[in-house]
Amino acid sequence: MPKYTPILATLAYILSPDGQQVLMIHRNARPDDLHFGKYNGLGGKLEPNEDVLTSVRREVREEAGIEAERLTLRGTVSWPGFAGDEDWFAFIFRVDTWSGEPATTNHEGELAWVPIDRLQELNLWDSDRLWLGMVFDDDPRPFHGVAPYESGTMISWSFVRV
C-alpha cells in the first residue's frame, strides 16, 4: 500500500451578508496552474507551526483582503493521488461573518460573488460537486469525505457525517 503523506490545506467559502451568494475564485491568472479554469473557494496550504483556523484566516486575508470573523468548520476532504503523486487533505470552512471590502482579483484569478443555487453550473472539480452542498446545508454535523484520484480523474467518493 502506498504511503499517505497529505499536504494539509484549508478552504473557505465566504457568504455574502444576505447569505445567498458565495465568494469564489476563478483560477484564470496562470495557465500553468493545476486548477486553471476551475472555480474554487479561497484557501491554501498550512504553514509550519500554523493551526487550521490561523491558516484559513490568513488565506482569506491574502486572497480576498478581508478578515474572516465567524467561521464554521463544515467538514474535511481527503484527495489521495490528486496531483499525480501528491495527496491533499483540506479543512473546509464556511465564513458567515467577515469585515472589509473584498478584492476583485488576486495572483490566482478573479473573485466573483456567485449565487449558491448556481454553484453547480461552474467549472468545478468533480469531487467538489459532491460535497459543496454540505457546506451550505442546515445539517449541523460536519462531513468527512475521501475522493481518491488516479491520473487526474476522481475514481470514487465516500463520506460520513457525525
pLDDT of 83 reads 81
Mean pLDDT of 25-45: 94
pLDDT at 33: 84
Q: Cell for 11?
A: 478552504
95 closest CA partner among 34, 155, 17, 150:
17
d(CA 108, CA 105): 8
- Set of cell numbers at residue 103: 478584492
CA–CA dist 82, 153 (Å, integer):
8
Looking at residue 57, what is its pLDDT? 98
Looking at residue 3, what is its pLDDT? 86
pLDDT tens for each residue of 135-150 = 999 999 999 999 999 9
The single residue listed with the C-alpha cell 483556523 is: 53
pTM: 0.95
> For residue range 80-119, what is the model confidence (pLDDT) as tens digits?
999 877 999 999 999 999 999 999 999 999 999 999 999 9
Instruction: Report the mean per-residue pLDDT for the chain.
Output: 96
Report DSSP state, residue 31: T
Within 10 angstroms of residue 110's Cβ, the number of other Cβ atoms is 15
Residues above pLDDT 70, as percent of the chain: 99
* Domains along the sequence of the chain with CATH: 6-161 (3.90.79.10)
